[in-house]
Structure 1
Amino acid sequence: MAKRNTKQYAGFHRKWGQFCIQREVDMFRPSLTDVVTFLTHLFNSGLGYSSLNTARCALSSIIMRDSDNTIGNHPLVSRFIKGVYHLRPPSCRYDNIWDVSIVLRYLRGLHPLSSLSMKMLTLKLVTLVALVSAQRLQTLQLLDISTVHGDGSTFVFTIPDQIKQSRPGSGPIKVVLRDFQEDQSISVVKVLEFYLKQTKNLRGSCSKLFISYVKPHAAVSRDTLARWIKLVLDLSGVDTKTFSAHSTRAASTSAAYSRSVPIEEILKVAGWKSEKTFAKFYNKEVLHQNETFTNILLS
């Protein structure tokens, strides 16, 4: 099962514990009725499909059953979640998205790399990687230099961990970062090469790509990456009261889509399983051209 937000799990565990105390229920061995009643309570409080699905997984992680199946896989619970999907289907978080060129213009100004502080170099790299990879913050946090290989124009990271877009039998996720020769100031490969040189003597035994720019230079959390990206968006002029760090995923794929990147390329880069997932958020006709995601996005 893909890793999920531990804070969300902790929150649902806490609510479940309170629910069980009030009803004098064994939180580790409740009845099926108790579980469905709890999920119904969450639904009536206004939660939608995504949150309730996370709650189901959180309960499955602590409730013990005699069978091999988790409580979340019970047919009645599955039917309940399916019903929630139809009543409150997941929807787009944003009606529109910011223009990638605004952020790229700011990142171009962070040049030459040798003039940047470790903080600004780090902020530039993490934002560029987020844009050209169209990956979730979870994936960025897992990038590890021990798994990377490249040929001077491309870096390929292998993610052995199970993440949200992992599929049974599909093998490990690969994140590919390509050079952008037309403008070296925003080439993620050139920035990454410089960053690796600058952090070589700082990271010690830490192999995670992104490390803190202040001592002790340890690996950083997903929340830290989010703060860094949001700071860059704010400095670029993006409305960060509306848009979160995760919006880079929507912004980059929307930009690529509007510039006629083939749908197959967008799905491959972003890790979406089918065109329906993309079409749900960007329901426009796609024109097919033989251009790479990175080149069209950064042009």
Structure 2
Amino acid sequence: MGSPMSRRNGISLQHTTAEIHIESPRPQSGRSGRAYQPLALPASICVPPHTTHPSTTTQDKEGEGPYYTHSTLVATQSVVCRTNPDVSRTTLDTSNASRPTITGSSASTKCTQTKFDGLDVETSIWKQEGFSDQVIHTLISARKRSTSKVYHRIWKLFLAWSQTRSIPWQSCVSTHILEFLQDGVDKGLSTSALKVQTSALAALFHKQWATLPEVKTFFQALLKLHPPIKDPIPPWDLNLVLRALQKAPFEPMATVDLKFLSWKVAFLLAICSARRVLDLAALSYVPPWTIFHQDKAVLRTIPSHLPKVTSSFHLNQEIVLPSFCPNPKNTQEKQLHTLDAVRALKYYIHRTADFRHSDALFVLFGSNKKGLQASKRSLARWIVAAILESYKSVGQEAPITVKAHSTRKISASWALHNSASIDAIRKAATWSSLHTFAKFYRLDVLASAEATFGRKVLQAAVAHR
């Protein structure tokens, strides 16, 4: 469904000292024999008065470029809660006598001292359901850490939204959920981002909001109001980039700047494997995770790595890089050999051996953290940089928008055009079904060829005048 992390925040947080008295709705009859008890969750939420402008950028910690901070939540200080110090308690006294009143600056200082912790909230909810700590730990592990971070940000946003409207969040129904989503629509959030928010709220309330008829109708309406537009034309020219990679500043690989070498290797691996940067960042140069054969190299991600989809098909998929013109006999073959991913990988491992501080395949080349493992964000920047530098080296204007993820659709589309089997494409890109490729990734790599017929007709007519 996509992640709202790269979208601008559509809901502003307003300062207020109003408290939210959190009470769990009484369970439906027949669901449990336990007596009703209030949910042991934070008794109030404090929203900081200042927020960061959505377009604010922050320098990457690795010092290799800016990144945007306008994720699902943007605020100079996080939305914070006063949490119950004893999360194992099953009751929470909500009487006026025992509930502290927040007034003045001292209360504001106290409020901002405790950060909102989505994990604590989630743990408290499961505890209220009666699960043991061991079971809760397993349940929380069902989602990837990155997904949990996104969900927790959305929870924080929703709690702030409900507070500004004086709505006890636990009493929210589908009417409130749709109002929350509508605020996102009004502020320009994409349909995929709104679907992620719906999934996050389902995890918070333990209720499948997406299955409700009114929520289904809401998203059906969004498809008509904001229909998804798929650009069938590749965002950049693969042939141009490959021609540029055969020359300076990317060759000769034995002496070029390490920056250009890193960019080229990252791009070649991405385009030859059709893998996500998430998977490329989890490769290791150490055997048996990287093994060179006479005519290929076989790479495997480290055992601790979890792919985007953790199914039996997606886990432990090998990346096989065949040699390309390994024994060149003429000038043309020598030029093609410069695009050999196996050759590039050998050069890269050899030239980074002296300063490596990690077993990861890709390591940083900057002076501050030289030799440390390169993150997936670094690899994404390297791939984009290789494309932009290629356009610059041949004197052409670079595309306005280039994303590292586009290498997946472009490589798979060209492989299909050159008669690669459907099964080979599906396995290389780790698509369990070709439906994903057909719906989201397939491009018309020879879009201009459709005009060949008309052009030939006109040429023939002109020639016989």
- TM-score, normalised via structure 1 length: 0.76
C-alpha contact 2:321 2:341 (8 A) present in aligned 1: yes
Q: What is the rounded CA distance, in whole Å, between the counterparts of 2:267 and 2:306 in structure 1?
A: 23
Q: Which runs of 5+ in 2 are unaligned?
A: 1-142, 326-332, 392-396, 445-465
Q: Which of 93, 98, 103 is the equivalent residue of 2:241? A: 103
Greater alpha carbon shift after TM alignment, 85-94 vs 260-269 = 85-94
Q: Which runs of 5+ in 1 are unaligned?
A: 66-70, 285-299
Q: What is the rounded CA distance, in whole Å, between the counterparts of 1:144 and 1:81 in structure 2?
A: 44
C-alpha contact 2:278 2:307 (8 A) present in aligned 1: yes
Q: Which of 188, 193, 215 is the equivalent residue of 1:51? A: 193
Deviation at 1:148, TM superposition (A): 1.3
Q: What letter corresponds to residue 132 of structure 1 in structure 2? A: C
C-alpha contact 2:284 2:290 (8 A) present in aligned 1: no
Q: Measured at CA, do residues 164 and 106 of structure 1 come closer, stay the same or move farther in structure 2, by a change above 3 Å?
A: same
- TM-score, normalised via structure 2 length: 0.51
Deviation at 1:171, TM superposition (A): 3.3
CA RMSD of aligned residues (A): 3.2
The corresponding residue for 1:139 is: 279
C-alpha contact 1:156 1:176 (8 A) present in aligned 2: yes
After superposition, the C-alpha distances for 1:216-237 in whole angstroms (9 at most, x for unaligned) are: 2222232222222222111222
Aligned-pair identity (%):
26
Deviation at 1:76, TM superposition (A): 2.8
After superposition, the C-alpha distances for 1:179-204 in whole angstroms (9 at most, x for unaligned) are: 22253211111111111122122122
Q: Measured at CA, do residues 13 and 234 of structure 1 come closer, stay the same or move farther in structure 2, by a change above 3 Å?
A: farther
Deviation at 1:122, TM superposition (A): 0.5
Q: What is the rounded CA distance, in whole Å, between the counterparts of 2:220 and 2:146 in structure 1?
A: 19
Q: Measured at CA, do residues 114 and 3 of structure 1 come closer, stay the same or move farther in structure 2, by a change above 3 Å?
A: same
Q: What is the rounded CA distance, in whole Å, between the counterparts of 2:283 and 2:167 in structure 1?
A: 42
The corresponding residue for 1:209 is: 361
After superposition, the C-alpha distances for 1:78-115 in whole angstroms (9 at most, x for unaligned) are: 44369626843984653310331111111111222112
How many residue pairs end up in the alignment?
273
Q: What is the rounded CA distance, in whole Å, between the counterparts of 1:164 and 1:82 in structure 2?
A: 29
The corresponding residue for 1:296 is: none
C-alpha contact 2:300 2:316 (8 A) present in aligned 1: no
The corresponding residue for 1:75 is: 208
Question: Is 1:264 aligned to residue 448 of structure 2?
Answer: no
Q: Measured at CA, do residues 279 and 121 of structure 1 come closer, stay the same or move farther in structure 2, by a change above 3 Å?
A: same
The corresponding residue for 1:192 is: 345
Larger relative contact order (C-alpha < 8 A, sep ≥ 6)?
1
The corresponding residue for 2:375 is: 221
C-alpha contact 2:202 2:209 (8 A) present in aligned 1: no
Q: Which of 409, 412, 416 is the equivalent residue of 1:253? A: 412
Greater alpha carbon shift after TM alignment, 12-21 vs 105-114 = 12-21
Greater alpha carbon shift after TM alignment, 134-143 vs 47-56 = 47-56
C-alpha contact 2:307 2:314 (8 A) present in aligned 1: no
C-alpha contact 2:410 2:443 (8 A) present in aligned 1: no
Q: What is the rounded CA distance, in whole Å, between the counterparts of 1:85 and 1:155 in structure 2?
A: 45
C-alpha contact 1:166 1:173 (8 A) present in aligned 2: no
After superposition, the C-alpha distances for 1:155-191 in whole angstroms (9 at most, x for unaligned) are: 2223542222432575333333222225321111111
Runs of 4 or more above 6 Å deviation: none
Question: Is 1:112 aligned to residue 249 of structure 2?
Answer: no
Is the radius of gyration larger for structure 1 or structure 2?
Answer: 2
Query: Residue 142 of structure 1: SS of its match in structure 2?
Result: coil
Query: Residue 145 of structure 1: SS of its match in structure 2?
Result: coil
Q: Measured at CA, do residues 60 and 202 of structure 1 come closer, stay the same or move farther in structure 2, by a change above 3 Å?
A: farther
Greater alpha carbon shift after TM alignment, 86-95 vs 139-148 = 86-95
Q: What letter corresponds to residue 188 of structure 1 in structure 2? A: A
Q: What letter corresponds to residue 359 of structure 2 in structure 1? A: S
The corresponding residue for 1:23 is: 165
The corresponding residue for 1:167 is: 311
